[in-house]
Amino acid sequence: MTDASASGTSDGGTTAATGNEPPATGSESSTSESTANPTEGSTGTAPTREGWCDPSTALVACYDFDDLASGTLVDASTYGNDGTIMGITVEDTGPIAQAARFSSGGSISIPASPQCDLEQEFSFEMWILLDELPAADRYGVMDRDGMYSVLAYPDGLRIGGRGENNINIQPPLGVWFHVAFTMGPRFSRAYVDGELVAETPAVIPNGGLGNGNPMSVGCSSPGLDQQVAGAVGGLRVWSEERSLDQICATSGVDC
């Protein structure tokens, strides 16, 4: 491992689901909060770098975590939303290429961009390794401040969009796992290692885009603090609701 020293939110209710395919219909009433229990880590085949960032107009940001020691997290989408790396430890073997391990002061900061201002129909995916959950407060895993995020709390992982479009899951610890969140006109859904683990009726926010704060990886935005105890090895963001088949096609998980 080598050091790289070049020169970050939301609550809601969930409905647990079973099976790999999203239901065609579902209740539109809001539900009380529940916790979904995913698998114990991915057992699939690692994705290829080419497949992970296959160009698409709907792919607004894609990071395979290659060449992290350069100090730049390169966006392989067509939009060029590169990030700045500070104080991470580079792990040579990640799920796709390398991985970024975070500790106090470590951060990846991606400047705000119109393409990543998303709140109605969008999806994001990540490869994550959590060493532990916080004893108090929270860790930032990925945070597009006020719009969508993956945050670790003492009772689990909170993933999703603004307001009531969050889903709580109980993540595996000490192993790499793939997490995906999709939001469409009717439902917000969370997938872990290619399995639909929870959904909630979508609540479409009204306004609040373009706040100018960065997207952060491994910490919270906008303060670039609350570093995660663990590592991140892949991130991609889409301006569309993705299906399970689409997620599985290039994620590398055994769906």
Per-residue pLDDT of 75-123, as tens digits, reads: 999 999 999 999 999 999 999 999 999 998 999 999 999 999 988 899 9
Tell me the domains of the chain and their CATH numbers: 2-20+30-239 (2.60.120.200)
Per-residue pLDDT of 125-143, as tens digits, reads: 999 999 999 999 999 999 9
Residue of higher predicted confidence among 159 and 5: 159
Average pLDDT of the residues in 140-158 = 93
The pLDDT of residue 50: 59
Residue of higher predicted confidence among 183 and 12: 183
Per-residue pLDDT of 30-63, as tens digits, reads: 333 334 444 455 555 555 555 788 888 899 999 9
The radius of gyration of the chain's CA atoms, rounded to the nearest angstrom, is 16
Number of CB atoms found within 10 A of residue 128's CB: 27
Angle at 139 between CA 136 and CA 143, to 5 degrees: 140
Direct distance between the N- and C-terminal alpha carbons of the chain, in angstroms, rounded to an integer = 31
